[in-house]
Amino acid sequence: MAELTEFAAQMVLLLTSFLLIWYIFRLREKRKIGDPELKYEYDGRARNPHSLIDPDELALKELDRLIEDGFNQ
């Protein structure tokens, strides 16, 4: 009787481990498919370098803040 109980417990644990491994791989694949950063390979170049010539208002305000923080230190 003890052998049957031990065998049943081993089968339950084995099935549980397989289900957890399957679930982890499924989550990993979902995250890989949904991640837009993985769709291109990084080459170090700007995607639209012409847009960097004219800074926007937010960038200018941030630059002013950084300069003021530098003088205050």
With tokens 């339950």, the residue in question is: 12
Secondary structure letter of residue 45 according to DSSP: S
Residue 29 has pLDDT above 80, yes or no: yes
Phi-psi region of 35 (alpha: psi -120 to 50; beta: other; left: phi over 0): beta
Q: Indicate the pLDDT class of residue 48, thresholds 50, 70 and 90.
A: confident
Give dist(CA 70, CA 23) in Å, integer. Answer: 50
| Encoded amino acid at 3, one letter | E
Domain boundaries defined on the chain: 2-72
Radius of gyration in angstroms for the set of CA atoms belonging to the chain, rounded to a whole number: 28
Specify the DSSP element, H or E, that contains 22: helix 2-34
What is the residue-averaged pLDDT of the chain? 85
